[in-house]
Amino acid sequence: MDYQTLELSNGIRYIHVPTDRYVAHLAIIINAGTRDELDHEHGMAHFIEHVIFKGTQKRKAYHILSRLEDVGGEIDAYTSKEDTVVYTSFLKQYFNRSAELLADIYINSVFPEKELEKEKEVILDEINSYFDSPSEQIYDDFENKIFDNHDLGHPILGSKNSLKSFDKKAINAFMSRTYNTDKIVICSIGNIPFQKTAKSIEKYFGVIPENRRTWSRNEFHFYQPFELIQSTQTHQAHCVVGNIAYDAYHEKRKALLLLNNILGGPGLNSRLNLALRERHGWVYTIESNYAQYSDIGLWSVYFGSDKSNFEKVLKHLKIEMQQMADVTMGPKQLEKAKQQIIGQMAMASENNQDMLVGIGKSYMLYDKLESFEHIKEVVNGIGVEQIKAVAQEVFDAKQLSIFAYV
């Protein structure tokens, strides 16, 4: 993949990928998320994601939202365990407008008290909505138990009690500590000369005072498998089964991505979907996921089923995982799986908005981008014995944790 980069004097890094499309995309990725909150700050990263749009020294909230929408563009944001991302999409001639807007809300947000109180109510509704959605809530409960008493276990939305205490002083304290310039990546995709984009980035983000990170994250080391079944009044049973896995730098992570795709990835022909939904009709939803953090990974399977089918599904799920660990895949079967995941990656690369954040995070973590051809080469180099070895490690029955609402 062709790309060009720039590092500003304050440590902020910028990466641009050229395309031939009319629509361009620009994002700022800050390596600060839920796991970076102190005990009294739970939910702060997500709260800032909401209130950063509520006014700057020269713009009201309406003018921030209208700045790109008036020309057919979009602006939005999200928060994860390790990152806060603000991203935009627009016609390519409005790159400078987008860059100036992102810089304005990053540098000049004033966090009006009235808007803070209003947004607390919005987030309280968001927290309450999770209680009405067990398929969402169970992930938070599972991760909180997996990462018991660790920063990674904090729910992204925070708690009602912590949320009520947030004010402008608390926001500025969190941003001053975690919004470090050497942990910021700005990324763009568009049919715009790099010299032009770099000039805008230098102009608007180069003025941010240097603030490099002098602290490190509390790494996770103490995993203890568990089984927890909670009685609920829901019609369906909901369950997550999982284990800790490889971090974002581990040499086995791509093998696990391939294994995860085979077992319960997005394809309707995944082993779990075929066995438990298509063949038996025991589940409405079943999917596996692999989250990679900077120091640890988390692999899991979620399923929702009628309560009468819960035990059967859980038993069959364990059988499928054990087979992956015990039985060596045939070369033709593995080749088919490789072609599937390569095709999925190729199709995902057609969506430049989705690709934007992937580019930025890759540059954040590895200080480079891997070409599609290189990724294909790595995937094609994964052998059947490697898949089996990873399955034996990650699907080890003694290391699996189970959390269920039944």
User: What type of residue is 397?
Assistant: A
DSSP letter (8 states) at residue 93: G
pLDDT band at 391 (very low <50, low <70, confident <90, very high): very high
Alpha carbon distance 290, 274 (integer Å): 20
Domain with CATH 3.30.830.10 in the chain: 4-205, 227-405
Check pLDDT > 90 for residue 354: no
Between CA 75 and CA 81, with CA 77 as vertex, the angle to 5 degrees is: 165
* Residues 242/142, Cβ–Cβ less than 8 Å: yes
3-class secondary-structure state, position 229: strand
Check pLDDT > 80 for residue 6: yes
Q: Place domain 227-405 in its CATH homologous superfamily.
A: Metalloenzyme, LuxS/M16 peptidase-like (3.30.830.10)
Alpha carbon distance 57, 385 (integer Å): 59
Report the pLDDT value the prediction gives residue 223, as an integer from 0 to 100. Answer: 97
Q: Average pLDDT of the chain?
A: 96
Alpha carbon distance 95, 14 (integer Å): 14
Q: Is 4 exposed, middle or buried (0-12, 13-18, 19+ CB in 10 A)?
A: middle
pLDDT band at 118 (very low <50, low <70, confident <90, very high): very high
Query: b or e along 121-136 (b: 16 or more beta carbons within 10 Å of the residue's beta carbon)?
Result: eebeeebeebeeebbe
Check pLDDT > 80 for residue 199: yes
3-class secondary-structure state, position 220: coil
Sign of CA dihedral 244, 30, 11, 362: positive
**How far lies 346's CA from each of 129, 190, 312, in Å?**
35, 18, 36
Report the pLDDT value the prediction gives residue 120, as an integer from 0 to 100. Answer: 96
Domain 4-205, classified CATH 2.40.128.720, yes or no: no
pLDDT band at 233 (very low <50, low <70, confident <90, very high): confident
Helix, strand, coil share of the chain (percent; to 5): 50, 20, 30
Check pLDDT > 90 for residue 132: no
What's the whole-number mean pLDDT along residues 318-322? Answer: 97
What's the whole-number mean pLDDT along residues 71-91? Answer: 98
Check pLDDT > 80 for residue 1: no
Check pLDDT > 80 for residue 238: yes
Which tens digit of pLDDT belongs to each residue from 172-197? 999 999 999 999 999 999 999 999 99
| Closest listed residue to residue 27, CA positions, set 351, 349, 292, 359 | 359
Report the pLDDT value the prediction gives residue 245, as an integer from 0 to 100. Answer: 98
Instruction: Give pairs for 52-56: CB < 8 Å, separation 24+.
Output: 52/77, 52/86, 52/105, 52/106, 52/109, 53/77, 53/105, 54/109, 54/111, 54/112, 54/115, 54/116, 54/119, 55/109, 55/110, 55/111, 55/112, 55/115, 56/104, 56/105, 56/108, 56/109, 56/110
Cα–chain center distance at 168: 27
- 233/197: higher pLDDT: 197
| Tokens (6 digits) for 56 | 């700057």
